[in-house]
Amino acid sequence: MPYVVAATWSFGLKAVSRAAEILTLNGNALDAVEEGIKVVELDPEVLTVGLGGIPNLKGVCELDASIMDGYSLKAGAVGGVRNVLHPISVARKVLELTPHILLVGDEAIDFASKLGLTVSEFTWKKGALEKWRELLSSINLGVGLQPYMDKIKAYIEHYRLHETISVVALDRYGNIASGSSTTGLPLKIPGRVGDSAIIGAGVYADNDVGAACTTGVGEIAQITLLSKNVCDLIRTGLDPQDACEKAIENTFRYKYYHGGIAVLAIDREGRIGAASSRKDFVYAYIAEGMDKPKVEAGVYVDSSEY
């Protein structure tokens, strides 16, 4: 079976290139997804993924990641981990070594530490702290709990820096995987865990159907279980493109946030779909036989029509 791998945003080019190196050598989809994401976690130019990216409201870098294997339906995820260079690898260890799916906070960090996956020090990515300070001063939090919450919500609605790395892959043996990793929403409330740590929301994979992954305001993907919704729609017979567009339409029922959300999917035949409520959503992909990866725009679904 010809392989295919796709990743969110143009920085996904680096992820799909690394993933393709693995798939070309008959590697498996799960390894391709993990290794592809690791490249972006370390990318100094991507301030919304990895340790040292734009931190939460208190200036702390809390990371979310998850990975799912479409063969076994096993999954692993971590939420709110600090001092971890590769949260996607900790998620993979949750999948492989534990009977659970999601570990969060200090205990997840302890789990990572026992595996040698934590670091005692890190450097901020260039520009991350400056961006954090700029955002903080732009929302002018003031005093009082409710004004604070309202300002955070308004900021999330209008601010567009929500770029998560999410990757879906199909290997030569027909195995499918999906993974995601993020610093989460810049200025998120400490302790907030987003879609990238939630199976069904930020990622889903099933060899019988395909896989999906998301980027954007995580709460929208969480409330609609967006990745699972896309896979369910593919299962009913829709091709991945129609399934992605229909699933984005379904998010418009959610009346709290109207911020941007995007979903990227493949089916078990290797067809790709991508759709978003943002006009600027792009994804990178490479399929067996292509000499280099390409970047394409996802289909824009206009929420004002619903």
Question: Do 240 and 206 touch, CB atoms closer than 8 A?
Answer: no
- Residue 27 or 184: the one with the smaller Cβ distance to ligand GLY is 184
User: Could you tell me if 229 and 247 are in contact, meaning their C-beta atoms sit under 8 angstroms apart?
Assistant: yes
What's the count of helices (H) and strands (E) in the chain, helices before strands? 9, 13
Among 4, 185, 199, 265, the residue binding ligand GLY under the rule CB under 6 A is: 185
Residue 55 is a binding residue for ligand GLY (CB under 6 A):
no
Residue 158 CA: distances (Å) to CA of 88, 137, 147, 154, 229: 28, 15, 16, 6, 25
- Interaction between residue 184 and ligand GLY (CB under 6 A): yes
Closer to ligand GLY by CB, 218 or 293: give it. 218
Element (H, E) at 274: strand 272-276
Q: Does 216 interact with ligand GLY (rule: CB under 6 A)?
A: yes
The nearest distance, CB 192 to ligand GLY, in angstroms, is 8
Tell me, by CB under 6 A, how many residues bind ligand GLY: 12
Using CB under 6 A as the binding rule, whether residue 227 contacts ligand GLY is answered as no
**Tokens linked to 247:** 């699933």
With CB under 6 A as the contact rule, the residue among 162, 228, 268, 278 that binds ligand GLY is 162
In this structure, what is the dihedral angle of CA atoms 247, 6, 102, 70, given to the nearest 10 degrees? 90
Q: Does 164 bind ligand GLY (CB under 6 A)?
A: yes
196 binds ligand GLY (CB under 6 A): yes
Please identify which residue in 118, 178, 182, 207 interacts with ligand GLY, judged by CB under 6 A. Answer: 182
Outline where 2-127 has alpha helix (H): 12-24, 29-42, 87-97, 105-114
Which of 59, 259, 234, 80 lies closest to 156, judged by CA?
A: 259
Q: Any contact of residue 298 with ligand GLY (CB under 6 A)?
A: no
Angstrom distance (rounded) from CA 120 to CA 98: 24
Choose the catalytic residue: 8, 48, 118, 164: 164
Q: Would you say 188 or 268 has its CB closer to ligand GLY?
A: 188
Let me know if 251 is a catalytic residue: no
- Amino acid at position 11, single letter: F
Nearer CB in complex with ligand GLY: 53/210: 53
Residues near ligand GLY, by CB under 6 A: 162, 164, 182, 184-185, 194-196, 215-218
Catalytically annotated residues? 164
